[in-house]
Amino acid sequence: MGKRVVITKAGGVSAITTQPMEAPAPGEGEVRIKVAYAGINFADLLMRMGFYQPRPAFPFTPGYEASGVIDAIGPGVSGFEVGQRVVAAMRNGGQASYVLSSVDRVVPLPDGLSLQAAASTPVTYMTAHHMLHHLGHLRPDDKVLVHGGAGGVGTAALQLCKWAGLQQVWATSSKSKHHIIEQYGARPIDRHNEDFVAIVKTETDGKGVDHVLDPIGGDNLRRSLSCLAEGGRLYTYGLSAAAPSGKRSLLKAFFALRKTPKFDALRLMTRNRAVFGVHMGTWSDEAVMHSQLARIVDGIQTGHLDPIVDCVFDAEDVQAAHQYIHDAKNIGKVLLKFEDVGEE
């Protein structure tokens, strides 16, 4: 008997639990994966609190990424075999002992790439890669500002910038995490005590940066827009300002949404700036998804990328895992452990 994480309703950490499950049968073009590790993302927390769309109707199993071994193959599938180690980018439902996935969203793992590292890549690295490379066409002479630089997407973005040869990268975080940002050659900014707009403007001679990655939203998003250089791009991919703690607060969410800027198309046009909204869970072009995930796996294998796994919680401790992320204790990725598949 397996187990799955279930969000029962909108609320605090008590609204998430684990329940038993049977292994489902794969359908046409699908494989069933016995899951070793599944990643937790801030989007999972926001969905639990009722502040994130789209999401399935309650109750549902969250999870955009999972690693493990294939233990059943559906009709029409070729190129995969039972026992093969894989990672999957899920539309949802990845936090379970057994998941079904279309083969278009599954990538085989090379020898030497651990299942823990693999489970930390589909959302964080693909989100960062999608913003910087697919949408942003990142160049070595570009300048980048990354908010939440010590988090999962943040550390992935910093590594991608270093891989691309960038020399001018700034990242915000709490001061205790600045050593992580410096490790990847970026300039840390204390998100609680320093003005990132003033620092970026001063250190770029008033020109600003070419890319800003913002998972915070609210007023932070407005200020991020002011950091852009001519032709710059702002990527918004979260609203952590609406969930500063583990408790569901409609008032805090209201104020965060109220402070989120309403973008003026004419003003963006006259100032030659762009705003992208990014949600990899709703991205439908499977070929783009697969090619990016394959490049990320190659980057890890060649040593250009190095996934940071902060800690692993047993699936039964999912409430503690959510609170840990709410408290901003993690540096890099937080994973849930499901089944023993003979590795780690």
Q: How confident is the prediction along the chain (344 residues), in pLDDT tens digits per residue? A: 899 999 999 999 999 999 999 999 999 999 999 999 999 998 899 899 887 778 899 999 999 999 999 999 999 999 999 999 999 999 899 999 999 999 988 989 988 899 999 999 988 999 999 999 999 999 999 999 999 999 889 999 999 999 999 999 999 999 999 999 999 999 999 999 999 999 999 999 999 999 999 998 888 999 999 999 999 999 999 766 555 555 555 556 555 556 666 777 778 888 899 999 998 878 888 889 888 988 998 899 899 999 989 999 999 999 999 999 988 888 889 999 999 997 65
Looking at the structure, do residues 147 and 225 belong to the same domain, yes or no? Answer: yes
Q: Is 19 helix (H, G, I), strand (E, B) or coil?
A: strand
Q: What is the spatial distance between Cα 198 and Cα 202, in angstroms, rounded to a whole number? A: 6
What's the pLDDT score for residue 46? 86
Looking at the structure, do residues 71 and 214 belong to the same domain, yes or no? Answer: no
For 103, the domain range is: 2-120+307-337
57 Cβ contact partners less than 8 Å away, ≥ 6 residues apart? none
Q: Is the Cβ–Cβ distance between 96 and 2 less than 8 Å? A: yes
What's the pLDDT score for residue 51? 79
| Structural domain count of the chain | 2
Looking at the structure, do residues 61 and 138 belong to the same domain, yes or no? Answer: no
Looking at the structure, do residues 166 and 39 belong to the same domain, yes or no? Answer: no
Looking at the structure, do residues 97 and 131 belong to the same domain, yes or no? Answer: no
Looking at the structure, do residues 36 and 111 belong to the same domain, yes or no? Answer: yes
Does 99 fall in a domain? Answer: yes
Looking at the structure, do residues 112 and 151 belong to the same domain, yes or no? Answer: no
Looking at the structure, do residues 55 and 140 belong to the same domain, yes or no? Answer: no
Looking at the structure, do residues 267 and 170 belong to the same domain, yes or no? Answer: yes
pTM recorded for the entire structure? 0.85
Looking at the structure, do residues 38 and 20 belong to the same domain, yes or no? Answer: yes
Does 301 fall in a domain? Answer: no
